[in-house]
Each structure stands twice: as C-alpha cells, then as structure tokens.
Amino acid sequence: MCVTHAFSVDSNELLQQEWEVFKLQHNKNYEESEDEKRLQIFIKNKIYIAKHNQLYEKGERSYSLEMNRFGDWTDEEIDERLYGYYDIKRHFKKTKGTPYTPPANYRPPSRMDWRRLGAVTAVQDQTPCGCCWAFSAIGALEGQLYQAQDRLVKLSEQQLVDCADEHYGNFGCRGGSPANAFDYTVEFGVETARKYQYISQQKKCDYKKKFVAVKASDYLLISPTEDNLMKTVGKFGPVSVVLDGRNADFLFYKHGVYYNPLCRNKSGLNHAALVVGYGALEVEGDYWLIKNSFGTDWGYEGYMLLARNRENNCGVATNATLPVVGARVDFIKSKY
C-alpha cells in the first residue's frame, strides 16, 4: 500500500516533469503559449517512440528509437534545418560529372570501415542550417584527399554554403546537392575548415584561392545499384549519397539496422549523407555505415546502420557521387 501510494503521481505531472528536464537538457526556453505548443509535439513524439520500442523489444523491428533534441521541432523546422537536398537544373554547369559503372568482375572486400583506415573526420552538427548536401560533399572530398595524399584534412562546408550558390543550383542553408557542390569544387577547390570555419548560416562568399587545400578534377555519377555502390566504397573510399529521411523513425533513430519499407528509394529523396563503409550483422543482416551531420547525440555517436541489399532502402544507391582528386577518371578505372 505504501509503495503504491508513493508512486501514484498524476501522469500529466510526470509528463510536465519530463518536459522540463528535456528543455533543460537541450537549452530550450519558450514563452507560455509557445511552450504549450511545443509540449504537445514532445508528447506526440514520446508516445510514438515508446510504441515503436515496444515492437523492437518484441523483435518486430530491427532498430530502436530515442528522444533527442528534435523532439519538439515542427515539420517546417525539420525541413529547414535538417533536410536540405534537392537537385534542380543548374543555371551554369561547366562540368556534368562522368557516368561510372565499376567492373563487373571486381570483388570488393566483404566489409569496410574507412574510419578505421583514417579517411573520415569527426561527426559535426549542421543545424540550424539545411546544408546536409555540403557536409556530404565535403566528407567525400576529405576521403579522396586522404587517398591522394595520405593525410586527413578537415575541409570547409561553410565555403560551399557561401560560395557554391545559385549559380551552381545550390541555395546555402535552403538546400542543394553534392553533385552541384562538386561542380563548384572542380572550378575553385575547397579551403580547410580552419581557414573557413563553419557558422551554421549562409554569409557572403569569402573564398581565398591561396588557402585551397584540394581541387576536384571531375566527379563520378555511380550507376544506381547497391552492388555498384559497394564496389566503389570498397575500392575508393567514402561516397556521397542521398536518402529519404522524411519520417520520425529516421529522425529519432538510435541503434540497430534501419530498414523502413515506407522509405522512398528513387524520387522524393531529401537528405544527403555519407557512406563510409558496410558490413553485416549475424541477426540484423547486411548494412551500410552512414555518417550523418546531426551531431554525436544522434544514432551511434552520429552514425547509422542502414539496411543493405534490401530494395535500395531509402534510396541509398539512387544518387551516389564520388569526386575525383588528383587523377583522371581513366586512372581511377585502371586502379581496379
């Protein structure tokens, strides 16, 4: 009787306590009317996550979810601050990229993790700027610079946000695409992040040629199959990809192999990321190792295991691109 009485706290009071903790944890502060609106979003997401995780515990889902700082964001804020991929016709297009299909007889390693080989920089947080496209492109460039010069250098996403602009079909924090970014890097190159630091908003272009650390000579448009993507990642390094991230499961992903049959896999993709490896788990099956740009509090310290060889889940192989650094395309082909 005493124990029951000690824990018989009204559920609304418990929710309010959780809400206050959430706001303190994520440094959020709202006026009274706005606070109530945000609380309702938080409650809806909390219920959704709890229901999903019940299915996960029963073995009916292959991945779990967790409340995070996105828990009280509106749909509009999610679109503006996280999902900034779209590919439009460029006003100017000096290069078009080179269509690329790896040799059919090439057998890539059965598993790969370019982090362990030193080709991947630390996870960052893009918000509150919808420039996932710039983070994806820079990650691929960093990997190729590592391959070409055997050194890992943090390159500047901010330069792409500021300078790879409407002229190339990108719109800073309002969106763009890795392929369009590579068009810019072929012409101008990219500075280091130390010289051109990330500030999470678009400003006037401050490009300085003398600080350029790498310049792409071309980029590859990888034939859209998972087999081709695996061969390219296995041989050459991290690859820019585009995903469908428009559902709560992606937003609140915590761990496990993410397979969502509701994911689009061809059109309507909205989030650029980076494939840095692949592998397989005994129970959950094949996966892609995805580096995201939501900070280290998301997923596996900023990474996701995305289902591989399952109907091109979330469109991972649909728009995969790889910059060419320090070599021509025919040189890359000869490396097989």
Region for residue 309 given its phi and psi (left: phi exceeds 0; alpha: psi -120 to 50; beta: otherwise): left
Q: Please confirm, yes or no, whether 292 is among the known catalytic residues.
A: yes
H runs (alpha helix) in the chain: 2-6, 11-25, 32-57, 75-81, 132-149, 157-163, 178-188, 226-236, 248-251, 329-334
Rg of the chain over CA atoms, in angstroms? 21
- Chain centroid, CA 165 distance in Å: 20
C-alpha 174/C-alpha 83 separation (Å) is 9
- Active-site choice (45, 170, 292, 313): 292
Q: Please confirm, yes or no, whether 91 is among the known catalytic residues.
A: no
Distances, alpha carbon 237 to alpha carbons 45, 117, 276, 278, in Å: 36, 10, 7, 11
Q: Please confirm, yes or no, whether 52 is among the known catalytic residues.
A: no
- Active-site choice (129, 132, 173, 263): 132
For the CA atoms of 194, 198, 202, 205, what is the dihedral angle to 10 degrees? 10
- Chain centroid, CA 214 distance in Å: 22
- Active-site choice (173, 180, 271, 314): 271
**Number of residues in the chain:** 336
C-alpha 242/C-alpha 229 separation (Å) is 12
Catalytic residues, by residue number, are 132, 271, 292
